Amino acid sequence: MDLHFQFDWQAAIASLPYLLKGVPYTLLISFGGLAIGFVIGMLFGLMRIAPSRWLRYPAVFYIEVFRGTPVLVQVLFIFYGLPTLLGGPIPAITAGIAAIALNAGAYISEIVRGGVQSIERGQREAGLSLGLSATQTFQYIIWPQALRRMIPALGNQGIVSIKDTSLFSVIGVGELVRQGQVYIAQTFTALEVYFMIALLYLAITLSLSMALSLLERKGLVG
């Protein structure tokens, strides 16, 4: 079997300006969705460990639903399914951000739960013994320590969510993969274009990984 093939570096480099047009959309969907997802995750993560079952059960339901279904199915439901309920179309970028927010929020909820529960009970007791209220103890003692422990896991979730945006080409979002698909249809250089797409994703995720490593070296994580 002849496995010989030729990689056209010139075609790969020529695709770069076109592909770069999709990077802002990838970053917008990723970081916009993650910012909202962190708020959702913090809310449901705290609900998950609340004493009241009326808070715990809805949190468990949300977390299990969005962790147990693929993000691709979620974005398709938001983009194609919700408009029939809302009576109007949802912009593709909005659907992408919502899918990342809801999906990442479910995973971040568990990160928040684990981070808060990792703080020793004595920390809370010490805060209360100093005359702080339960809310003040959480705000000034528990949460800062928990957040430091959560940062590596939050960074990993960020990397996963960035890669998940590659699935949103199915709803026509002009992100990195979609730009590549359009360019391939015009030039028939699939090998070179997908190679460049992979390099661009790698550059984005490695940048985030390096930022996390820097935080760890400065002692801001752990």
Please provide the DSSP assignment of 51-78 as one string.
S-HHHHHHHHHHHHHHHSS-HHHHHHII
Specify the pLDDT at position 68. Answer: 96
**Predicted confidence (pLDDT) per residue in 71-117, tens digit:** 999 999 999 999 998 888 999 999 999 999 999 999 999 999 999 99
CATH of the domain at 27: 1.10.3720.10
Helix (H, G, I), strand (E, B) or coil at 128: helix
Specify the pLDDT at position 186. Answer: 93
**Predicted confidence (pLDDT) per residue in 127-184, tens digit:** 888 888 888 888 888 999 999 899 989 999 999 999 999 999 999 888 899 999 999 9
Mean pLDDT for the chain overall: 91
Q: What is the average per-residue pLDDT within 193-219? A: 88
Both tokens of 40, joined, read 């959702």
- The answer on pLDDT for 3 being more than 80 is no
Task: Assess if residue 212 is contained within a domain.
Answer: no
Task: Assess if residue 12 is contained within a domain.
Answer: no
**What percent of the chain is modeled with pLDDT above 90?**
68
Specify the pLDDT at position 174. Answer: 83
Specify the pLDDT at position 135. Answer: 85
Specify the pLDDT at position 2. Answer: 52
Residue 136 CB neighbours (<10 A): 13
Task: Assess if residue 186 is contained within a domain.
Answer: no
Q: What is the average per-residue pLDDT within 52-63? A: 95
> CA dist 111 to 2, 45, 64, 115, Å?
49, 8, 14, 6
The residue segments making up the domain with residue 58 are 23-174
In angstroms, rounded to a whole number, what is the distance separating the alpha carbons of residues 194 and 25? Answer: 17
In angstroms, rounded to a whole number, what is the distance separating the alpha carbons of residues 63 and 196? Answer: 35
Domain count within the chain = 1
Q: What is the DSSP letter of 204?
A: H
Residue 2 CB neighbours (<10 A): 4
Task: Assess if residue 135 is contained within a domain.
Answer: yes
Closest CA to 33 of 98, 110, 111: 98
> CA dist 65 to 38, 69, 105, Å?
17, 6, 11
Residue type at 107? Y
Task: Assess if residue 221 is contained within a domain.
Answer: no
**What percent of the chain is modeled with pLDDT above 70?**
96
Helix-strand-coil split of the chain, %, nearest 5: 80, 0, 20
Task: Assess if residue 48 is contained within a domain.
Answer: yes
Task: Assess if residue 14 is contained within a domain.
Answer: no
Specify the pLDDT at position 1. Answer: 47
Both tokens of 66, joined, read 């969005």
Task: Assess if residue 17 is contained within a domain.
Answer: no
